[in-house]
Structure 1
Amino acid sequence: MKNLHPITSANGNLIDKKTGEVHSVRYLPGYPRQIRFDASKGNFNLNGDVPLTKKGEEFSFIPLAYRIFNDNILGMGKKRWAEFFFLNEARQVCAVLFHGYSVENFMRLAANEMFYDDVTPCDVILTARPVEKECKDPEAPGKKYFMADFSYKKLEKGEKETLLQVTEGINFWREETTTGDARIEFSLNWNPPHPVIELNGATAEEEAAVVAA
């Protein structure tokens, strides 16, 4: 099960140091391996049933692509989401979602620290730490739940270059979470095969046409 955990360094697992050969990445476009943050148990798992962490244990990964968006997906109603794509030790593309207060925590980190460190979420090792909270809803008094808090460490320049080489030409997206109706706040390296609606209501193609005019 160890090879199901995310890579946290771009090392010989990606490129053969002796030959320079780039090891292949396994990914069916639109269908990354699904990693879930269970806000009721405070852990991360694969497909909802294979635990990858214990309760409250940190989960670190290197984002290769991400987006912050608002949409009605997975039958959960319209929410604000953060979606990240990364590689596991088996060189498989994975995706993980966060919503609610977890997204607010990430955006606070991005605005207050990442921006001033001049890094994007794809320039760092991102760590999500489940934090236990108590529900204040009068209909569910005392109910416990978890939100994710975030921290990061900058990637070394060589690691960033290695990741770019290994993932060149890969379009990161997930079929199940791409409706075409999302309002995208921020994204990087997220490339679905059809137009998406940006926060201002224009499609990416329409914005490109305006810039070119």
Structure 2
Amino acid sequence: MGTPAALKSYQIEKRDEETGEVAVVNKFKYLEGHPKQYRFNGQTGRFNLNGETDLGNKMTIQPVAWRIFEENLFERGRKEQWAEIFFIDEKNCVSVVMFNNTSVNVLFGLIEPLFYEELSLSDVMLTITAEKKENTKITPKGTYYIAKFSYVPADATKVKEVRDFVRDHRIFRADTLTPTAEYKAVSKGFHNALAYMDAPLLGAESIAA
């Protein structure tokens, strides 16, 4: 018998209860191009899963891949700034959450100091909270919410696991890929399945997962 191959950092051995056979499986679940969809509602300041399950006004995630770009998505009729952040949730599923416009500018403002610390989003645990704003340009004035971002360093072992996983898998969301997106920043871990991407990498972001 040959020497068993070493497990990758994101793999485990799992025994079949019926046959007793041991198989190597990934810790993380991912159906290529179809991550679990978490959403941020800028009208209510609440997060949800698939537009249904309410998750409150705060989330903490560890990004594994991301892109910041401009595109006309979801039939909104205009090009807007978007940030698409992929992460692995508490059930070890590859997931995604998106933000647009002002929230994207706030996120980019966090990426910049990380770059100067030789870090990227995949090195940190990112806490996202909703902040209420007023729109005084309309009468009566309206309210809306933007996402605010803060971070603490992530566990080094988990960072290695997710980077190794992303390096070996194609991380993207199929229904938001377009050939006309204009990129501002993109991590190496993001895979453009359309093969149209010609985007600059942002400094330290280029060594991300």
Aligned residues: 180
CA RMSD of aligned residues (A): 2.2
3-state SS of paired residue (1:149): strand
Bigger strand share: 2
- Cα distance in structure 2, aligned partners of 1:199 and 1:15: 31
Aligned pair in 2 of structure 1 residues 141, 116: CA closer, same or farther (>3 Å)?
farther
Q: How far 1:177 moved relative to its partner? A: 0.8
Structure 2 residue 178 is matched with structure 1 residue 175: no
The residue correspondences of 1:106-185 to structure 2 (distance < 5 A) are 106-111=107-112, 113-138=113-138, 140-185=139-184
Structure 2: 5+ residue stretches without partners? 1-9, 14-23, 201-209
**2:44 alignment partner in structure 1:** 41
TM-superposed deviation, 1:40: 0.8
2:20 aligned with 1:24 = no
What amino acid is the match of 1:158? T
**Equivalent position amino acid for 2:115 in 1:** F
TM-score, structure 2 normalization: 0.78
Following the alignment from structure 2 to structure 1, what is the Cα–Cα distance between the partners of residues 92 and 158?
15
Aligned residue for 1:85? 86
Q: Distance in 2 between matches of 1:23 and 1:170?
A: 11
Contact 2:59–2:129 under 8 Å retained in 1: yes
Alignment of 1:181-192 (within 5 A): 181-188=180-187, 189-192=189-192
Structure ID, larger Rg? 2
| Aligned-pair CA distance for 1:25 | 2.2
State the identity %. 29
**Alpha-carbon contact 1:135-1:141 (below 8 Å) kept:** no
Shift of 1:16: 5.9
SS at 1:160 equivalent: helix
CA distance in 2, matches of 1:74, 1:92: 24
Q: How does 1:87-106 map to 2 (within 5 A)?
A: 87-106=88-107
